[in-house]
DNA sequence: CCTTGATATAAGCATATTCGAATATATTTT
DNA sequence: AAAATATATTCGAATATGCTTATATCAAGG
Protein backbone atom coordinates (compact mmCIF):
# COMPACT_ATOMS: atom_id res chain seq x y z
CA UNK A 1 0.00 0.00 0.00
CA UNK A 2 1.18 3.46 -0.89
CA UNK A 3 1.38 5.77 2.09
CA UNK A 4 0.51 9.34 1.20
CA UNK A 5 2.31 12.10 3.01
CA UNK A 6 -1.02 13.86 3.54
CA UNK A 7 -2.22 11.02 5.71
CA UNK A 8 0.51 11.60 8.22
CA UNK A 9 -0.29 15.30 8.29
CA UNK A 10 -3.93 14.52 9.06
CA UNK A 11 -3.06 11.97 11.72
CA UNK A 12 -0.59 14.34 13.35
CA UNK A 13 -3.16 17.10 13.36
CA UNK A 14 -5.64 14.85 15.16
CA UNK A 15 -3.09 13.35 17.55
CA UNK A 16 -3.52 15.94 20.26
CA UNK A 17 -6.14 15.97 23.00
CA UNK A 18 -7.25 19.54 22.44
CA UNK A 19 -7.40 19.21 18.68
CA UNK A 20 -9.28 15.94 18.86
CA UNK A 21 -11.84 17.58 21.13
CA UNK A 22 -12.11 20.52 18.76
CA UNK A 23 -12.93 18.34 15.78
CA UNK A 24 -15.34 16.25 17.87
CA UNK A 25 -17.17 19.42 18.81
CA UNK A 26 -17.13 20.72 15.25
CA UNK A 27 -18.63 17.49 13.98
CA UNK A 28 -21.67 18.38 16.04
CA UNK A 29 -21.96 21.63 14.19
CA UNK A 30 -20.19 24.79 13.11
CA UNK A 31 -18.73 26.86 15.94
CA UNK A 32 -16.88 30.11 16.23
CA UNK A 33 -13.71 30.43 18.28
CA UNK A 34 -15.38 32.19 21.18
CA UNK A 35 -17.87 29.40 21.71
CA UNK A 36 -15.03 26.88 21.63
CA UNK A 37 -13.40 28.76 24.47
CA UNK A 38 -16.44 28.00 26.59
CA UNK A 39 -16.10 24.30 25.83
CA UNK A 40 -12.36 23.78 26.13
CA UNK A 41 -9.89 24.41 28.95
CA UNK A 42 -7.53 26.38 26.74
CA UNK A 43 -6.75 30.02 26.08
CA UNK A 44 -7.92 31.92 23.04
CA UNK A 45 -4.41 32.06 21.63
CA UNK A 46 -3.89 28.37 22.14
CA UNK A 47 -7.17 27.42 20.48
CA UNK A 48 -6.33 29.66 17.58
CA UNK A 49 -2.96 27.95 17.23
CA UNK A 50 -4.57 24.54 17.20
CA UNK A 51 -7.10 25.70 14.63
CA UNK A 52 -4.20 26.85 12.49
CA UNK A 53 -2.70 23.36 12.62
CA UNK A 54 -6.04 21.79 11.76
CA UNK A 55 -6.44 24.23 8.89
CA UNK A 56 -3.00 23.41 7.50
CA UNK A 57 -3.89 19.74 7.61
CA UNK A 58 -7.06 20.55 5.70
CA UNK A 59 -9.14 19.05 8.47
CA UNK A 60 -11.13 22.18 9.17
CA UNK A 61 -12.04 25.34 7.34
CA UNK A 62 -14.12 28.37 8.22
CA UNK A 63 -16.53 30.88 6.85
CA UNK A 64 -16.17 34.47 7.85
CA UNK A 65 -19.24 35.95 9.49
CA UNK A 66 -18.53 39.51 10.40
CA UNK A 67 -15.76 39.54 12.94
CA UNK A 68 -16.35 35.88 13.70
CA UNK A 69 -14.98 32.83 11.99
CA UNK A 70 -17.31 29.89 11.87
CA UNK A 71 -15.23 26.73 11.78
CA UNK A 72 -16.38 23.41 10.46
CA UNK A 73 -14.86 20.05 9.61
CA UNK A 74 -14.20 19.78 5.94
CA UNK A 75 -14.06 16.07 5.02
CA UNK A 76 -16.46 15.02 7.77
CA UNK A 77 -16.67 11.41 6.52
CA UNK A 78 -12.97 10.99 7.13
CA UNK A 79 -12.86 12.63 10.52
CA UNK A 80 -16.17 11.23 11.68
CA UNK A 81 -15.17 7.81 10.45
CA UNK A 82 -11.92 7.94 12.36
CA UNK A 83 -13.70 8.88 15.55
CA UNK A 84 -16.30 6.15 15.02
CA UNK A 85 -13.55 3.58 14.57
CA UNK A 86 -11.79 4.72 17.71
CA UNK A 87 -15.00 4.74 19.71
CA UNK A 88 -16.03 1.29 18.57
CA UNK A 89 -12.59 -0.27 18.74
CA UNK A 90 -12.38 -3.06 21.29
CA UNK A 91 -10.02 -2.39 24.12
CA UNK A 92 -6.51 -3.56 23.38
CA UNK A 93 -5.87 -7.14 24.38
CA UNK A 94 -4.09 -7.54 27.67
CA UNK B 1 -18.43 12.83 22.66
CA UNK B 2 -16.00 11.63 25.26
CA UNK B 3 -12.42 11.65 24.05
CA UNK B 4 -10.39 8.80 25.48
CA UNK B 5 -6.75 9.41 26.17
CA UNK B 6 -5.95 6.10 24.49
CA UNK B 7 -7.19 7.42 21.18
CA UNK B 8 -4.57 10.14 21.13
CA UNK B 9 -1.89 7.59 21.92
CA UNK B 10 -3.00 5.47 18.98
CA UNK B 11 -3.17 8.45 16.63
CA UNK B 12 0.24 9.66 17.73
CA UNK B 13 1.68 6.21 17.19
CA UNK B 14 0.36 6.13 13.64
CA UNK B 15 1.25 9.74 12.83
CA UNK B 16 4.71 8.98 11.52
CA UNK B 17 5.66 7.87 8.01
CA UNK B 18 7.81 4.96 9.11
CA UNK B 19 5.32 3.69 11.64
CA UNK B 20 2.44 4.01 9.22
CA UNK B 21 4.39 1.97 6.70
CA UNK B 22 5.18 -0.62 9.35
CA UNK B 23 1.53 -1.17 10.22
CA UNK B 24 0.56 -1.20 6.55
CA UNK B 25 3.09 -3.97 5.98
CA UNK B 26 2.01 -5.86 9.06
CA UNK B 27 -1.61 -5.78 7.93
CA UNK B 28 -0.47 -7.89 5.00
CA UNK B 29 0.88 -10.46 7.41
CA UNK B 30 3.12 -11.12 10.35
CA UNK B 31 6.74 -10.08 9.93
CA UNK B 32 9.88 -10.26 12.00
CA UNK B 33 12.11 -7.25 12.47
CA UNK B 34 14.77 -8.45 10.08
CA UNK B 35 12.34 -8.72 7.20
CA UNK B 36 11.08 -5.23 7.96
CA UNK B 37 14.61 -3.95 7.58
CA UNK B 38 14.52 -5.14 3.99
CA UNK B 39 11.33 -3.21 3.34
CA UNK B 40 12.06 0.06 5.09
CA UNK B 41 14.83 2.62 4.71
CA UNK B 42 15.60 2.69 8.43
CA UNK B 43 18.17 1.18 10.74
CA UNK B 44 17.54 -1.82 12.97
CA UNK B 45 17.67 0.33 16.08
CA UNK B 46 15.28 2.85 14.63
CA UNK B 47 12.77 0.22 13.55
CA UNK B 48 12.95 -1.34 16.97
CA UNK B 49 12.24 2.03 18.56
CA UNK B 50 9.24 2.56 16.33
CA UNK B 51 7.97 -0.91 17.16
CA UNK B 52 8.30 -0.02 20.82
CA UNK B 53 6.08 3.02 20.31
CA UNK B 54 3.52 0.95 18.42
CA UNK B 55 3.62 -1.64 21.16
CA UNK B 56 3.04 0.96 23.86
CA UNK B 57 0.05 2.24 21.90
CA UNK B 58 -1.25 -1.33 21.77
CA UNK B 59 -1.29 -1.18 18.00
CA UNK B 60 1.04 -4.13 17.49
CA UNK B 61 2.15 -7.13 19.46
CA UNK B 62 4.47 -10.03 18.75
CA UNK B 63 4.96 -13.70 19.29
CA UNK B 64 8.38 -14.98 20.13
CA UNK B 65 9.72 -17.55 17.72
CA UNK B 66 13.17 -18.52 18.86
CA UNK B 67 15.34 -15.48 18.65
CA UNK B 68 12.89 -13.75 16.33
CA UNK B 69 9.90 -11.69 17.19
CA UNK B 70 6.99 -12.00 14.82
CA UNK B 71 5.06 -8.76 14.91
CA UNK B 72 1.43 -8.38 13.97
CA UNK B 73 -1.26 -5.74 14.22
CA UNK B 74 -3.48 -6.39 17.19
CA UNK B 75 -6.82 -4.64 16.57
CA UNK B 76 -6.62 -4.99 12.80
CA UNK B 77 -10.17 -3.68 12.30
CA UNK B 78 -9.18 -0.38 13.85
CA UNK B 79 -5.90 0.03 12.00
CA UNK B 80 -7.18 -1.39 8.74
CA UNK B 81 -10.25 0.76 9.01
CA UNK B 82 -8.19 3.87 9.54
CA UNK B 83 -6.07 3.13 6.50
CA UNK B 84 -9.15 2.42 4.40
CA UNK B 85 -10.67 5.73 5.42
CA UNK B 86 -7.50 7.60 4.57
CA UNK B 87 -7.14 5.83 1.24
CA UNK B 88 -10.74 6.49 0.24
CA UNK B 89 -10.94 10.02 1.59
CA UNK B 90 -11.53 12.61 -1.10
CA UNK B 91 -8.78 15.14 -1.48
CA UNK B 92 -9.26 18.17 0.71
CA UNK B 93 -11.32 20.89 -0.96
CA UNK B 94 -9.30 23.73 -2.41
C1' DC C 1 30.65 -21.65 27.60
C1' DC C 2 31.52 -18.89 23.38
C1' DT C 3 29.93 -17.16 19.31
C1' DT C 4 26.53 -15.61 16.23
C1' DG C 5 22.21 -13.79 14.80
C1' DA C 6 18.10 -11.15 16.24
C1' DT C 7 16.32 -7.59 18.80
C1' DA C 8 16.16 -4.05 22.43
C1' DT C 9 17.80 -0.25 25.16
C1' DA C 10 20.65 3.87 26.45
C1' DA C 11 23.02 8.12 25.63
C1' DG C 12 23.48 12.17 23.08
C1' DC C 13 22.32 15.60 19.93
C1' DA C 14 19.37 18.07 16.57
C1' DT C 15 14.93 19.39 15.60
C1' DA C 16 10.05 19.98 16.49
C1' DT C 17 5.94 20.80 19.53
C1' DT C 18 3.54 22.96 23.00
C1' DC C 19 1.88 26.72 25.57
C1' DG C 20 1.85 31.30 27.75
C1' DA C 21 2.50 36.19 27.22
C1' DA C 22 2.43 39.93 24.48
C1' DT C 23 1.15 42.09 20.37
C1' DA C 24 -1.14 42.58 15.90
C1' DT C 25 -5.18 42.74 12.74
C1' DA C 26 -9.81 43.16 11.49
C1' DT C 27 -14.68 44.25 12.39
C1' DT C 28 -18.37 46.29 14.71
C1' DT C 29 -20.23 49.73 17.82
C1' DT C 30 -20.44 54.09 19.94
C1' DA D 1 -12.16 58.06 15.17
C1' DA D 2 -11.92 55.59 19.40
C1' DA D 3 -13.20 51.66 21.97
C1' DA D 4 -14.62 47.08 22.20
C1' DT D 5 -14.86 42.50 20.35
C1' DA D 6 -13.06 38.48 17.75
C1' DT D 7 -9.27 36.18 16.12
C1' DA D 8 -4.43 35.51 14.64
C1' DT D 9 0.57 35.85 14.99
C1' DT D 10 5.04 36.19 17.14
C1' DC D 11 8.44 34.99 20.50
C1' DG D 12 10.61 32.35 23.98
C1' DA D 13 11.13 28.64 27.28
C1' DA D 14 10.11 24.08 28.41
C1' DT D 15 9.43 19.69 26.85
C1' DA D 16 9.05 16.02 23.53
C1' DT D 17 10.51 13.49 19.21
C1' DG D 18 13.51 11.42 16.04
C1' DC D 19 17.72 9.52 14.74
C1' DT D 20 22.57 7.82 15.21
C1' DT D 21 25.96 5.28 17.56
C1' DA D 22 27.12 2.24 20.86
C1' DT D 23 26.01 -1.28 24.00
C1' DA D 24 23.04 -4.77 26.12
C1' DT D 25 20.04 -8.95 26.07
C1' DC D 26 18.70 -13.26 24.65
C1' DA D 27 18.13 -17.52 22.21
C1' DA D 28 20.31 -21.19 19.32
C1' DG D 29 24.32 -23.85 17.64
C1' DG D 30 28.73 -25.54 18.05
- In DSSP notation, B39-84 reads HSSS-HHHHHHHHHHHHHTTSEEEEEETTEEEEEESSHHHHHHHHH
Of B14, B87, B92, the CB nearest to A74: B92
Distances (CA, A) of A34 to A20, A25, A62: 18, 13, 14
Q: pLDDT-derived band of residue B94, with 50, 70 and 90 as boundaries?
A: low
Is B45 a residue whose pLDDT tops 70?
Answer: yes
Query: How far apart, in whole angstroms, are the C-alpha atoms of residue B62 and residue B30?
Result: 9
Nearest residue to nucleotide D23 when comparing alpha carbons to its C1'?
B45
Nearest residue to nucleotide D21 when comparing alpha carbons to its C1'?
B45
Quick one: pLDDT at residue A90? 84
- Strand D reaches within 7 A of the B37 CB: no
Contact A78 B58 (CB under 8 A): no
Look up residue A4 and give its DSSP letter: P
Which residues, given as ranges, of chain A have pLDDT below 50? Answer: none
Quick one: pLDDT at residue B24? 98
Quick one: pLDDT at residue B93? 67
Q: What is the value of pTM for the model shown?
A: 0.95
Arithmetic mean of pLDDT, B23-40: 97
Amino acid sequence: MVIEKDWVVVLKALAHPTRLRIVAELLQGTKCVTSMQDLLPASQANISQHLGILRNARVVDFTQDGAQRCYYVCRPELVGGLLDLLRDAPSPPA
